Each structure stands twice: as C-alpha cells, then as structure tokens.
Chain A
C-alpha cells in the first residue's frame, strides 16, 4: 500500500511547505521590526536633538521669540489643567455610561442605538470634535478659547475609550459574583457599588490612563477651537491677584498645551526652534509612554492578583 516513492514525494512536499513557513516567520519578524525600528529611530533621533536642550530653565520659561530663551512652562501647566478638566468630566460620565450598559440596560432599540452610537463616536476623527467644540463650546456656550473648552473637547473625545474600558472590565467579572450579591438581597445599585465597581476598578483605571494618554497628545481639536499658540503667562491661581480670582476662574483662562507648543516650534523654519520642538516632543512622548507603561503595569498586576 505505501510505497517508499510515495513517502519520498510526501517528504518533498512537506519540505517545500516548510520553507514557506520559515519564509513567512522571517517576514513576520521583519514586519514587527519595521514598527520597532521606526519607534526606536523616532525616539532616539528626538532624544539626540532635544535632550541637550532640556535644562531646568526650559521647564520654567515661557515661550519666547528667541529660541534659546524659550521654554515650556505655560505648555506643561496648561496640559495639566486641561487634563484635570478632561478627567473630572469624562471619568464619571464614561464609567456611569459603562455601568448602565452592562448592568441596567434592557435589550431594546434604545440600547442598540446607544451601542451603535458609541462605536461610531470612537471612529469620528478628532478634528471633527474640534469643529463641534468650536461651534458649541467656544461660540454657542461662550466659553471662548479657554481651558474649559479644551478640557471638555478632549473629554468628549476620550468618552468612548472610557465607556468601552469600563464595559470590558465589568464583563470580566464572572456572573456568579452578580448572583452571589443578588442572592444576599442586594439591589442592583448595591451590587454595583459594593462589588462590580471595586472589582473592576483596576480595569477601568487602565482604560482611563490610556484615554488620558491619548488626550495629552491630541493637537488637532485644540488647534481647531483656536487656542493661541503664544501664551507667556499662567492662568491666575484661585484667590490670587487683584481683585482676587475666584476658585474656578482659571478654567476660563487662555492657555497652551504641550503638543500645540511643539507644533508651533515645528512649523518655524529656524533650526533652533526645531531643537525646541524636539525637546518638547521628547517630554511629550515621555509623558505618554509613562502613562501607557503605567496602564500596562496596572493591567499586568490585575492579571496576577485576581483569581475568580
């Protein structure tokens, strides 16, 4: 039945198929390397250009027409303040929406619409959010080109990220935990607040950090609302100045943020400003990397610690 010649033919076919296997493995590694290498080159190139410029003064100076005096003080302060507004508005809203969709939502057309809508919002380009903010926050609500406008814009942008992360974190909790809680006589909200939210908090946190990391680097929507790029002052601190500022006056202050500052310097022809752009870019990438790294770490810890 099985002749040695057949076996030889089979072996020849296998050898050929295996060469293709090997070829594809190499292709796969090569493709991964394109990504890895680009990232490395990008990071190293920017570090070589920018790191020598990173002095203490660079962090404590305002932008200037003279490249060597310019710094990122107003940019990093602006970024932190905008992120504060973003986090305070997007996190409660996103988590609440995620909890509703996982724990409360009935299966009906309204829920379907909300679901389709969220997946669609996640795919809308960020610049369109900028146009929304320009029409709505800046002119209709009259917030102007303020920290509030920018923070709310970015909040809308990362809302889908937080909702999706919340839902995934909740879905990872086994059904038996729900049943256990209800069997003790808990209401839906008691189940959510005593079990679901605490157990999913690390997963939600991961999503929040990733969303914030994305928001920190967003440039287009902030340019679209017409944020000024040359800001040589800081928003007034609460109760400072004369007459004393109110607790929340800073949210209506004009501002700049890191990516805008970098864009501003990148679009200048002088080489000295390019160096500034590299330095600002390095700080910016470092910030997003640190946040992403933190998210990966939180997720890793989560996987290690939780055993259902």
Chain B
C-alpha cells in the first residue's frame, strides 16, 4: 500500500506494509517544499508589484482629490497646476494623448496589418527569416532615440511641407510613434494569422482562391481576435509612450485635437514635473500621481480587453 506513504514522516516499522526504501524521506520532502515555497513567492511577487502600483497611485491621488474636486479634474478645460490660478482639467492632457495616439495608430495599424498579412501569407521563408528579427530591432530602439529623430529629422522635413508647423508638434511625434508601434502590431497579428490551421487555407486554395482572397476572406476573419488584441496592445503602447512626446511635442498643455499644434500628454506632463524640483507632498507632486492613475486606468482597460479577447474568442476552427 504505497498510498499510505502520504501519512508518515518517519519510516514505519517493517511488517506494517511499507518497506524502508519506499517510504518518503522526510528530509527530501522538506527541501522540496521549501523550494516550492520560494518559487511560489517569486511568482506571487508580481501580484505585489501590481498592488504596490495601485496603492501608491491611489494613496497620493486620494490626497490630491481632497483638494481638487473630481468634477474639476474631469470637466475643467485648463491644466495649469503650477500657476497661482491653478486649474486641474485632465481633459487638456487627454486631448494631447488622444491626438498623438490617433496619429500613431493611423500609421501603425494599417502598415502593421499589411506587413503581418504579407509576412504570414505572401512572403517566402527567407524573407520572413530576415524581416522578423529586423522588426524586433525596430521595436528595440530606445524611444528617446525616436524622440530625437522626430525632433531633429522629421519635424524639419514636415516644416518644408507645412511652413506653419511649429518646431514642437504632435504630428511629428505621433508619426514616429506610429513607426515605433508597427513591430508590435505586425508581430502579434502575424502570430495570430500563422496560428490559423493550414487545413483552412487548403480548403480555400482548393476552391481556386488566390493568396489575397485566402488571406482576406479566410485567414484574417479566423484570426480576428488575435489581430484585435494586437491592435489593443498597439493602442496601449501609444497611450503610454512618453519620451517621443516629451522630446518632440513640446510640453505645453493645450486642449486641442489638431496634430499640427504642440501639446502635452499625460505622460509628458509627468516627465515635465519630474524634471523640475517639486517638493514631496506638494499639490504639484500629487498631480502626477492623479495623472498617472488616469493613465493606469486607461491602459488597464485596454489590457484587460485584450486579455479577454484572447481568452474569450479563442478561435473555434
């Protein structure tokens, strides 16, 4: 009866049905449990990181909202927390975030999708083997470098086309941000498309469909949820991107949806405050946590939506 070996930690006497050699060694058992416990705490640590993030942001924001009513925060149309006549309308920063993200997504989603379809359905093995690592490199360039590129290279070129374009503008930052996001959208969408089983493609080709017909009418619809979660990741990246905007879009709060104007985003505002010398505990210090909490809620929403899409619509082939 080996099953009874789960009870004793010391060897049972011979004759009780279990031999010395088959009983569990207490020392080995304890060591295993300790290791498992250590590994578990490493995994559980990640949960504490989330809790800590929420705690820090909520704690500081709580103090902030003692001073500034939530209605002002949501509906005021000015953001001037460091002026004497302080206004705290997050809408102003949101407009910058939405405008720059909009420009970025107009670049990243079409190009990323086309690249994904091309790599998954059209390109040969060789092209894919070269293009994939290259896309990874494109995604690995530090964002500060992209910011430098937007400011010193793209903006002067855009100014030749629109002479009125200011040196700091959301357009240039948004375009470069779009290029930065292409690899995320392309790579995840391509993974989703390649997960579509070959039998579906064969079914389509057997009807006399071309590559494009197969890609657009069979593969893409079958991979919809994966592609949607790739888009959502792209949106979440755009909303959270900081340095490109801090460098190239100026950091003036500006309630606008016109990308040719300069503007501050939630993220670039946090950088601006952190660059200055705000005392710990001042209302200015707390604003960045309130702004950060807004950002966290936005990205949390997108992340959970993406996670849910991946789980919920796990394709039925």
Contact = CB atoms under 8 A, between A and B. Distances in A.
Pick the 4 closest A-B CB pairs, nearest first: A125-B240, A217-B142, A28-B118, A96-B42
Contacts of B131: 32
Nearest to A188: B32
B143 A217 contact: yes
Interface of B: 28, 31-32, 35-36, 38-40, 42-47, 49-50, 52-53, 56-57, 59-60, 111, 114-115, 117-119, 122-123, 131, 133-138, 140-149, 151-153, 179, 182-183, 208, 210-213, 215, 233, 236, 239-243, 246-247, 267, 270-271, 274-275, 280, 288-289, 292, 295-296, 299-300, 302-304, 306-307
A31 B114 contact: yes
Contacts of B288: 131, 224
B271 A224 contact: yes
B60 to A, nearest CB: 6
Contact of A35 (B40, B134, B210): B134
Contact of B39 (A100, A134, A226, A296): A100
B138 A121 contact: no
Given A36-B134, A132-B53, A259-B142, 7 more contacts: A28-B119, A35-B183, A114-B43, A127-B242, A277-B148, A278-B148, A296-B133
Interface in A104-144: 104-105, 113-114, 116-121, 123-132, 134-136, 139
Interface stretch (A40-48, A56-64, A173-181, A242-250): A40-48
Contacts, number: 261
Nearest to A229: B275
B138 A39 contact: yes
Contacts of A74: none
A42 B304 contact: no
Binding site secondary structure of chain B: helix
B148 A46 contact: yes
Contacts of B296: 124, 128
A96 B43 contact: yes
A285 B145 contact: yes
Contacts of B240: 124-128
A189 B36 CA distance: 8
Given A125-B299, A189-B32, A263-B243, A97 B46 contact: yes
A131 B289 contact: yes
A296 B289 contact: no
A131 to B, nearest CB: 4
A123 B115 contact: no
Given A24-B118, A97-B46, A159-B49, A128 B292 contact: yes
23 contacts: A14-B210, A21-B212, A24-B212, A27-B114, A29-B118, A35-B111, A46-B148, A93-B45, A123-B299, A124-B303, A125-B242, A127-B267, A132-B52, A135-B289, A159-B46, A189-B32, A220-B246, A220-B270, A224-B274, A226-B274, A281-B144, A284-B145, A296-B136
